Amino acid sequence: MMYRAKRRSIVRLWVACWLLFAQAVSAEENLCVLVLYSNHRLLPANLEFEAGLRETLAKSTELNAEFLDYPRFDSESYLDAMTAFLHEKYALRPPSVLVVGGKGALEFVLRHRDELFPRVPVIHGAVPQSFLQSRPPLPADVVGVPIKFDFPGTIELALRWHPRARRLLVVTGVSAQDRAWEAELRSDVSRFQDRVTTEFLAGLPTDALLQRLRALGGDTVVFTPGYFEDGVGHLFSPREAVGLMAAAAAAPVYGPFDTFIGTGIVGGSMPNFAAMGRQVGHLVNDWLAGGAPAAQRLPEIAPTAVNLDWRQIQRWDIDPSAIPDDAIVRFKPPTLLEQYATETGVAIVVFLVQAGLIAGLLFERRRRRRMELAVHQQRCELAHASRLAVAGELTGAIAHEINQPLGAILSNADAADLLLASGADRRDELRAILADIRQDDLRASEVIRRLRALLAKQPVDWHPFDLNEAIRELEPVLRAEARRRRVALDLRLTATAPLLLGDRIQIQQVLINLALNAMDAANGLPEARRAVAVSVEHDADRLILVVRDRGPGIAPEHLPQLFDSFFSTKSQGMGLGLSITRTLVEAHGGRVWAESGSGMGAVFRVEWPAADGAGTPEPV
């Protein structure tokens, strides 16, 4: 013992010298801060406190931590050994400031300060205000932020959030600290007597306790500071104990420590250990910068705030409007924007750009559709105009076709009139006349019907039709026109019905254009060469219409422009017929081309895919 004391005094002397020296060079050397915690290193309150502290201290400040591991280890010999251990351990790196966390650590330091680090200033945190008030004032170089566990505030909160609760269940343990909390609580609950009945479950074995909690009814709220030791001597951290309770309880559980948040308790009015750590950190900084902090900078008490677990708020269906605005809400799922601000921003930008792009494309598509429609409309107009022009050219043939039956009808009627006037009984002849009149009338109306189909402005009618049939319908008009122009017309259709998908009228117009073109070519030629041949050929998957004349043919230099608009070799041609022809043919997925040998006449070939074959074209 002598030896030890002697040695200690030598060390102390050495340390003092070193400290003098160290203070002189403190600007260059790392400052050392030692934190001594009452409890063990994994207690969440300790971790949060240290995080707050570390955050506040300068990066260069060396921070060491020691743990007394109360209340598991608290024998006198252990504390003596601990004192010696700390003394030895930090002999060469003595702390500039000693921080103590919790009441136990403060008591320990006050008792062993001389053997540990004499004259090293002490800053305390997480020491209950009640403890400080119950003992003589601390030395001047021992300052800190007292803590007040707000048991009544938390109970008040629980009762406010559960207005229908009729019973308050308070759970405590059997360790010294647990007993102290129990005593404090017994005095606190008296103020709620007129609102709820209070029951204490103090020092139950954990199993029995959880059993009880599971059986709770809806009119109960549970308050507990947790416990370090249960009725059968099992040790816990208060957080572990609360976690078990909250998991089992069929009623909402409240607790006064913010480290409980996340274990399943609803919340409470709590000191904030991280904030406390920061406050202590500021005090340490002040001290390191130049001595004891001024009294006015000493916080009277560590801040408390309503902490809550958002999941529990929802689980217990607590009215959100009862939550104070400054409450610290935990476990509320962050909104996408909060959680991934950058990503969300990028996503929004990408989305907007994409939306813009899509809108642009849609707009473009609409514009194109509109234009396609307009083109289609124009083509219809053009086709119609060209049909009217063709009609003009065919007027002679048409008039002939109609006047022929009309002439017969009139003459027959006149004949009948004369026969009746003559008074002779020629009933048979009159009957024959009437039959002929009827037939000629039908003939005339058939011509008109066909012409109307050909000339009327009507929507495109897209369906499969027989090409032979379409040509046969045109035959009378074409023949009449050929006769008028003194051209021999030869029509050769196929034996089987060639089906073509498209608009019959438009295809008929193709034939009219090509046939009139061929008849034009016969103009001024000798009788033998005034001939036009129209033929249909039916391939496996193609329909071919051939229109052949025996005119002068097409000059090779004209072949490439033949189907261009406004190209014409005729003195009175508009140059639209073949251009329209090509447009109509291509609208039906076909193609048209011309061949010509010198002096052998011209051949126009049109080729379409057959409707029963593959690759049927779409209407345009």
Partner 1 sequence: MTTPSPLIHVVDDDESLRTALLRLLDAAGFNARGYASVGDFLLQAPPDGPGCVLLDVRMPGPSGLDLQAALRRQSNALPVVFLTGYADVAASVQAMKAGAVDFLTKPVEREALFDALQRALARDAAQRMARAQAEQLRAAFATLTPREQAVFDRVVAGQLNKQIADALGIAERTVKMQRAQMMTKLGVSSVAELGRLAERLQYLPD
In the complex, the residues that contact partner 1 under the rule CB under 8 A are 395-397, 399-401, 403-412, 414-416, 418-419, 422, 429, 433, 436, 439-440, 443, 483-484, 486
Q: Smallest distance, Å, CB 475 to partner 1?
A: 14
Closest CA to 321 of 194, 195, 155, 163: 163
Per-residue tokens: 415: 């004949």
Q: State both tokens at 346.
A: 């990028």
CB of 120 or CB of 480, closer to partner 1: 480
CB 597 within 8 A of CB 524: no
Burial 135-163 (b: 16+ CB within 10 A, else e): eeeeeebbbbbbbbbbbbbbbbbbbebbe
Nearer to partner 1, 435 or 456 (CB): 435
Measured between alpha carbons, how far is 503 from 585 in angstroms, rounded to an integer? 10
CB of 527 to partner 1, least distance (A): 10
Chain centroid, CA 204 distance in Å = 53
Comparing CB distances to partner 1, the nearer of 8 and 400 is 400
What angle, rounded to 10 degrees, do the helices at 341-422 and 577-587 form? 120
Least Cβ distance, residue 395 to partner 1 (angstroms): 8
In terms of CB distance, is 328 or 415 closer to partner 1? 415
**Other CB atoms within 10 A of residue 305 CB:** 17
What is the phi/psi pair of residue 267, to 5°?
160, -160
Tell the smallest beta-carbon distance from residue 435 to partner 1 (Å): 11
Which CB atom, from 125 or from 405, has the smaller least distance to partner 1?
405
Gyration radius (Cα) of the chain, Å: 55
Whichever of 95 and 405 has its CB closer to partner 1, that residue is 405
CB contact at 8 A, 33 and 97: yes
DSSP state, residue 589: T
Query: What is the CB neighbour count within 10 angstroms for residue 263?
Result: 21
Q: Residue 519 Cβ, how far from partner 1 at the closest point, in Å?
A: 14
Task: Write out the two tokens for 620.
Answer: 């345009």
Task: Answer yes or no: are the C-beta atoms of 522 and 485 closer than 8 Å.
Answer: yes
φ/ψ of 307, rounded to 5, equals -110, 145
What letter does residue 362 receive in the DSSP assignment? H
Q: Which is nearer to partner 1, 19 or 402 (CB)?
A: 402
Cβ closer to partner 1: 221 or 489?
489
Is 213 or 515 the residue whose CB approaches partner 1 more closely?
515
Q: How far is the CB of 443 from partner 1 (least distance, A)?
A: 8
* Shortest distance (Å) from residue 388 CB to partner 1: 18
**Beta carbon of residue 449, minimum distance to partner 1 (angstroms, whole number):** 18
Instruction: Please provide the DSSP assignment of 478-539 as one string.
Output: HHHHHHHTT-EEEEE--SS--EEEE-HHHHHHHHHHHHHHHHHHTTT--GGG-EEEEEEEE-
Please state the closest distance from residue 518 (CB atom) to partner 1, in A.
Answer: 18
Amino acid identity at 459: P
* Nearer residue to partner 1 within complex by CB, 143 or 397: 397
Report the C-alpha gap between 595 and 601 in whole angstroms: 9
Q: How far is the CB of 481 from partner 1 (least distance, A)?
A: 10
